[in-house]
């Protein structure tokens, strides 16, 4: 296996991109990444997208994107694993380079979410259609049931839960690509629309258009292209039951633990070595449970630790310096790649005002459904 580096990145603005269709967004991010890496030809392309068919009525993405970035002829495939499609695409791209099959690989993620009316229905396709969705469950509803079980078991308060989006919005203020780069306060969270009790609108990541792309190459060739590159040091992925009711412990997301242990083992590091982490805070409760599963806090103590400032600058580990899914935005299939891009910026000291001091090891955690899949990457600055 060869070591693999990230040598260039490209992002669109995250938000409501009314003038761009799905190929426009992907082409913008991909061409930026190729320019950033000073690469004109790629050897392979992977694109992560959760549901381009239902969101943009477009399947067969990989060939479309290859054509529209001037790389027709290149081998390409679309990768789908619900909300972890982007992270899975990065993992496949990593394997492609590590095995020696290809040298210059473009990995991207894209989702065009604002073109449809009933986005709640599309998101729910990540759950068990016949035995969850048929019976009326929505995606926020699943995480609401995790929150309910967690609050009952550990005594987490509604006010403490609100500290997750408050912290993430504060981080997003310094992120020019973020969808909502402004602060919110406790009153805003507690007065926002009830979506699925106890989760309110401000507990939920938004509907977002966006694309994110990176260029991978063998570590030994990275210097040919740039002096700003990072190494992918650990990769871990896992599956869990797609239906929430099949999770033994409804206050946990064991799939995250499994993926993280694999990534830690491969990288030869532990949670205590990680300087910052981009986690999949699709809902406020998710960030708390995930932080525990990754090993940053004990089970049942993550909510209080985050509320006490342990997950921001100066705390134990900076969680979601980008603003996270909540404030940066969550274009589902692009999110896993965008997390990697934030880690790239942090580890090459290009994160501006949101720079984590002395960042050397960063982690990304991208999750599908209510714990049906998870991909964790550990990245190292060079």
Partner 1 sequence: MANSQRYTREIPRRYRLEAQKFPSGFVSLPRRYVDPISGSKEYENIKLKGTGTILTYTIIHVTSDQFKFITPYAVAIIETDEGARITAMITDTSFEDIKIGARVELVFRKIMEEGPSGIVNYGYKAKVIV
Considering 247, 280, 330, 377, which one is annotated as catalytic? 330
Is 241 an interacting residue with respect to partner 1 (CB under 8 A)? yes
Q: How far is the CB of 285 from partner 1 (least distance, A)?
A: 11
Based on CB atoms, which residue is closest to partner 1, 43 or 111? 111
- State CA 113 to chain mean position distance: 16
Specify whether 280 is catalytic. Answer: no
C-alpha 158/C-alpha 177 separation (Å) is 29
Residue 20 or 192: the one with the smaller Cβ distance to partner 1 is: 192
Q: Is 192 in the site for partner 1 (CB under 8 A)?
A: no
Both structure tokens of 171 = 């981080």
- Contact between 358 and partner 1 by CB under 8 A: the answer reads no
CB nearer to partner 1: give 132 or 278.
132
- How far is the CA of 242 from the CAs of 192, 257, 304, 334, in angstroms? 29, 16, 28, 21
* Three-class DSSP category at 61: helix
Which residues are CB-contacts of 267 (< 8 A; sequence separation ≥ 6)?
Answer: 233, 234, 361, 378, 380
Active site residue 83: yes
Catalytic residue among 83, 204, 213, 282: 83
Angle formed at CA 73 by CA 109 and CA 63, multiple of 5 degrees: 35
By CB under 8 A, residue 136 contacts partner 1: yes
Binding string, residues 85-124; x marks residues near partner 1 by CB under 8 A? --------------------------------xx-xx--x
Contact (CB, 8 A) for 205 and 172: no
Question: Binders of partner 1 among 143-172, rule CB under 8 A?
Answer: 144-146, 148-149, 152
Angstrom distance (rounded) from CA 331 to CA 289: 22
- When binding is defined by CB under 8 A, the residue of 28, 43, 111, 132 that contacts partner 1 is 132
Write out the residues near partner 1 by the rule CB under 8 A. Answer: 117-118, 120-121, 124, 128, 130-132, 134-138, 140-141, 144-146, 148-149, 152, 193-199, 241, 243-246, 250
Q: Which positions are catalytic? A: 83, 330
């Amino acid at each position: 296996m060869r070591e693999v580096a990230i040598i260039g990145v490209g992002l669109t603005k995250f938000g409501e991109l009314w003038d761009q269709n799905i190929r426009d967004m992907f082409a913008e991010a991909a061409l930026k990444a190729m320019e950033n890496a000073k690469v004109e030809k790629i050897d392979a392309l992977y694109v992560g997208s959760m549901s381009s068919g239902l969101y943009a009525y477009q399947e067969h993405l990989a060939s479309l994107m290859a054509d529209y970035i001037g790389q027709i002829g290149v081998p390409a495939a679309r990768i789908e694993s619900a909300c972890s499609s982007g992270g899975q695409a990065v993992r496949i791209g990593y394997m492609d380079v590590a095995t020696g099959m290809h040298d210059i690989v473009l990995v991207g993620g894209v989702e065009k979410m604002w073109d449809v009316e009933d986005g709640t229905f599309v998101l729910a396709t990540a759950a068990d259609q016949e035995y969850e969705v048929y019976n009326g469950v929505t995606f926020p509803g699943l995480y609401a049931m995790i929150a309910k079980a967690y609050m009952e078991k550990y005594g987490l308060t509604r006010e403490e839960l609100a500290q997750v989006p408050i912290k993430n919005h504060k981080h997003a203020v310094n992120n020019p690509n973020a969808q909502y780069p402004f602060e919110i306060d406790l009153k805003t969270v507690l007065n926002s629309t009830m979506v699925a009790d106890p989760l309110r609108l401000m507990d939920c990541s938004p509907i977002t258009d966006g694309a994110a792309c990176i260029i991978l190459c063998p570590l030994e060739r990275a210097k040919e292209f740039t002096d700003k590159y990072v190494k992918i040091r650990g990769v871990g992925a896992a599956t869990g039951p797609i239906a929430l009711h099949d999770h033994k412990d409804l206050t946990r997301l064991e799939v995250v633990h499994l993926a993280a242990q694999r990534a830690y083992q491969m990288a030869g590091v532990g949670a205590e070595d990680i300087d910052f982490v981009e986690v999949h805070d699709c809902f406020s409760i998710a960030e708390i449970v995930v932080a525990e599963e990754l090993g940053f806090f004990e089970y049942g103590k993550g909510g209080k630790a985050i509320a006490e400032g342990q997950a921001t600058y100066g705390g134990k580990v900076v969680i979601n310096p980008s603003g996270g899914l909540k404030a940066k935005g969550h274009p589902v299939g692009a999110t896993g790649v965008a997390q990697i891009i934030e880690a790239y910026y942090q580890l090459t000291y290009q994160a501006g005002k949101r720079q984590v001091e002395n960042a050397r090891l960063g982690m990304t955690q991208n999750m599908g459904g209510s714990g049906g899949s998870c991909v964790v990457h550990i990245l190292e600055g060079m």
